[in-house]
Amino acid sequence: MTPRSIDEAAEVLWNTWQQGATLDALPEKVRPTSREEGFAIQLAIAQRSGDKRFGWKIAATSSAGQAHIGVDGPLPGTLLGKRARPCPARFPLAGNIMGVFEAEFAFRMGRDLPPRVAPYGTDEVLAAVATLHPAIEVPDSRYRDFVRVGAPQLIADNACASWFALGPATDAPWRDIDLARHPVTAFVNGKLTQTGSGSNVLGDPRVALAWIANELSRLGTGLRVGEVVTTGTCVVPVAVKAGDTVVADFGPIGRAEVAFDA
């Protein structure tokens, strides 16, 4: 793709997002055919938004999630600052075609992990983390049939990023906790609806964090101090509707809460 076609694709997706509309796919002449092209469009969308990047998300971190959207691995997405809020948060659901929330471990970086040739090890990535947070992601897509468009177009569309709620940094000694085995529960209007654990996130959310550090390094971007990485849902995505209040409970690590506009 040329710089012009990347910018044209970003304009299509950004305008679709701002209008609350959807499309079947990007026009063929500006449609990405690789992860790298999709990521270039994603970065162009962030630039076009004029918004500060809050951090990153990882989509499709479970085999079931990958099968659902027809991809063979996780996808990186940009979290925009104006769509990230502290808990308890309130979000609209109008026009959201996915209609779910996800309970996620989120890491705030304490130092940069810049692009480099050698891969980052998990321990090295964790040493660069400042804080761990409970979080809720409310994804959405600008594609009407997002399960069929493929990884390059999904990456271009911010890997289905929309709203994000960050809970308070945990006071628990999280570095000593086995996050893969750590239980996570999801509630809708006070009723338990899903249970899961960190093992649903590429086997371990710490492994997922290392994955995106290396993916962003490969793509020439890297992770920066202060950025937040939300690592994927620990539970099966939970259906929600307008007026609901939801909680992602991580036990001693904390909880995140979101209310949806009626």
**CATH code for the domain of 130:** 3.90.850.10
**What is the share, in percent, of the chain residues with pLDDT greater than 90?**
95
Q: Name the pLDDT band for 63 (thresholds 50, 70, 90).
A: confident
Nearest-angstrom CA–CA distance, 127 and 182: 20
Q: Residue 15's CB: how many other CB atoms inside 10 A?
A: 13
Shortest CA distance to 161 belongs to which of 2, 29, 64, 49? 49
Strand-pair category, 183-188 with 191-197: antiparallel
Nearest-angstrom CA–CA distance, 262 and 255: 22
Nearest-angstrom CA–CA distance, 244 and 258: 8
**What is the span of the domain harbouring residue 128?**
3-260
Residue 50: which residues within 8 A CB-CB, separation 6 or more? none
Q: Residue 66's pLDDT is what?
A: 86
Shortest CA distance to 58 belongs to which of 201, 173, 182, 195? 201
Which tokens hold the place of 241? 């509707």
Average confidence score pLDDT of the chain: 96
- The domain total for the chain is 1
| CA distances from residue 220 to 36, 117, 176, 187 in whole angstroms, order as listed | 10, 10, 32, 39
Whether pLDDT at 245 is above 90: yes
Nearest-angstrom CA–CA distance, 207 and 128: 14
Tokens 């063929």 sit at which residue?
A: 28
Nearest-angstrom CA–CA distance, 217 and 131: 21
Q: Name the pLDDT band for 44 (thresholds 50, 70, 90).
A: very high
For the entire predicted model, the pTM comes to 0.96
**Number of helical H runs and strand E runs in the chain:** 6, 13
Contact of 174 with 251, CB cutoff 8 Å: no
Contact of 131 with 227, CB cutoff 8 Å: no
Q: Residue 69's pLDDT is what?
A: 85
Whether pLDDT at 37 is above 90: yes
Whether pLDDT at 72 is above 90: no
DSSP state of 150: -
Q: Residue 77's pLDDT is what?
A: 98
DSSP state of 23: B
Whether pLDDT at 64 is above 90: no
Q: Residue 86's pLDDT is what?
A: 98
Whether pLDDT at 70 is above 90: no
Q: Residue 165's pLDDT is what?
A: 98
Contact of 246 with 187, CB cutoff 8 Å: yes
